Amino acid sequence: MTAVAPRPHDTGDPDAPDPGDDLRSRARARRELDLSVQDGPDPAATDRQHDRGKLTVRERLELLFDPGTFVEIEPLRRHRASAFGMDANRPYTDGVVAGWGKVEGRTVYAYGHDFRIFGGALGESHAEKIHKTMDLAISTGSPLVGISDGAGARIQEGVTALAGYGGIFRRNTAASGVIPQISVVLGPCAGGAAYSPALTDVVFMVRGTAQMFVTGPDVVATVTGERVPIDELGGAGVHGSRSGVASFVHEDEASCFDDVRLLLSMLPANNRSGPPVERVGDPPERRCEALYDIVSTDPAQAYDVRDVITEVTDDASMLEIHEGWAPNIVCAFARLDGHVVGIVANQPSVLAGTMDIDASDKAARFVQTCDAFSIPIVTMLDVPGFLPGSEQEHRGIIRHGAKLLYAYCAATVPRVQVILRKAYGGAYIVLDSRSIGADLSFAWPSNEVAVMGAEGAAGIIFRREIAGSPDPEGTRAARIEDYRDELLHPYYAAERGLVDDVIDPADTRRVLVGALDALRSKHAETPVRKHGNPPQ
């Protein structure tokens, strides 16, 4: 009979206590502590969070990550401050839950403020957990999601809390253009705290519960005498339509996290890898004959350029960014034959598609984001020019337009331009013309590329002739037609090599898929320098 090997540390005495019982007991106590930590500080705090229309931080992380994949780090962290009675209240997590998990099977790091603990206010230990999470995300080349719902710096901890924010800002900057950084603002984000989302790539906000501002309503009233409700000062509606701080605005947290997951599925893990490819069975050679009816050849007839984008790109793949801000230009991620592209398109149904200060800033930021993460850029033009007027000039349209020009000129990803209809003046140049580095340019047969429209040009060139004519209106009409025939016909730019081809609108999808496939291995050398100095 084979002898049974004794267990490690077995004394052979059946009545002796099992040395493993103590470890099992301790492990059981640890699991019970873990459950206590996950339940939060007290049920009443959770009820108050729900009464405000907000989820708890752990409920939010469940919405973000694939089920069962979240791994928490430092759940037993506690603050070490002893001033102002804080030594009597030292809850675990110190008001922030952090760790990693999977989103569509890919690793993503995240942290989220727990408003139930100290109102989510940031202290030294709280900040150190965030610092560690950010460091891990950067070192592993993984996207980072920050969920903001906190009352700012923890006043009781003084300057150490402020230093904690400084460490976050420094890491936001170090991660910029290296890993995707997404901020999800679901509660207050005030004072210095607001600068971290501002440094990230994309900001999500939920209407009615999220606010961002540098100084709150009480301070504003004290200093300026102006009394403004909190949502009018820094709510999601304001930042989604007026300031441009919010990239996405949602009505509830569930739909917000749905779009966070969708965005993450379209972005690469880092700047050294490409975006995920996801083919949905939409044929790359599919003809887009609906475009004939969407876009009129009458340059004064408005249409919704989003209809053009959705017709050309893969089914249900368009994700528009900054939808409510600067709507005269559309910026969106979408897929073409499964590959992610960034699309910049004039919107003729808003301000006739003219470029203004906000549109320039919006498009410039989007182009830079695409370039940082190796996402090809498709630019669709139907632009009469920059918005004229003293208000735009005095606010610096030259400076802001130069931001967009700089962004395109600096971009090294594949760049394809499509001229849908008109493309006049400086706006044509700025919106990725061949002269500033577009790899390929295609135009529909309805295109008009010129310094300005025929009416304005004829009025300047033939001003004296028209003024001295016995039939000024007839002469003017004739000269407009002369200018149009000579310089505005759809093949003028192609004849001079500024457009690669004039294409059938129905072939736009096929042409773009083929062009981007040909450009996929593009490699561009850039000058050696510390960094550029873009216009501000």
Tokens 């996929």 map to which residue?
520
Give the active site residue among 121, 127, 175, 427. 427
In whole angstroms, give the CA distance from residue 244 to residue 65: 27
For residue 193, the surrounding DSSP H or E stretch is none
| 3-class DSSP state of 150 | coil
Give the active site residue among 141, 158, 191, 237. 191
Query: How far, CA to CA in Å, does 396 sit from each of 357, 366, 403, 533?
Result: 8, 20, 11, 17
What is the token pair recorded at 23? 């470890």
Cβ–Cβ < 8 Å for 23, 8: no
Tokens 């004519």 map to which residue?
469
Residue 450 identity = A
Give the active site residue among 141, 208, 426, 459. 426
Whether residue 438 lies in the annotated active site:
no
Query: How far, CA to CA in Å, does 104 sit from each of 69, 152, 346, 533?
Result: 11, 32, 32, 37
Strands 71-73, 96-103: pairing is: antiparallel
Query: How far, CA to CA in Å, does 490 sit from each of 364, 384, 423?
Result: 28, 16, 11
Whether residue 427 lies in the annotated active site:
yes
In whole angstroms, give the CA distance from residue 142 to residue 402: 32
In whole angstroms, give the CA distance from residue 357 to residue 392: 7
In whole angstroms, give the CA distance from residue 53 to residue 201: 27
Q: What is the DSSP letter of 337?
A: T
In whole angstroms, give the CA distance from residue 251 to residue 239: 14
In sequence order, what E strands does 389-475 have? 415-424, 440-443, 448-450
Give the active site residue among 192, 237, 244, 324. 192
- 419 phi/psi in degrees, rounded to 5: -95, 110
Whether residue 191 lies in the annotated active site:
yes
Residue 445 identity = P
Q: What is the DSSP letter of 83?
A: G
Tokens 């459950």 map to which residue?
35
In whole angstroms, give the CA distance from residue 408 to residue 403: 9
In whole angstroms, give the CA distance from residue 382 to residue 304: 11
What is the token pair recorded at 159? 């300057």
Query: For the chain, give me the number of helices (H) and strands (E)?
Result: 21, 17
Whether residue 426 lies in the annotated active site:
yes
What residues are annotated to the active site? Answer: 191-192, 426-427
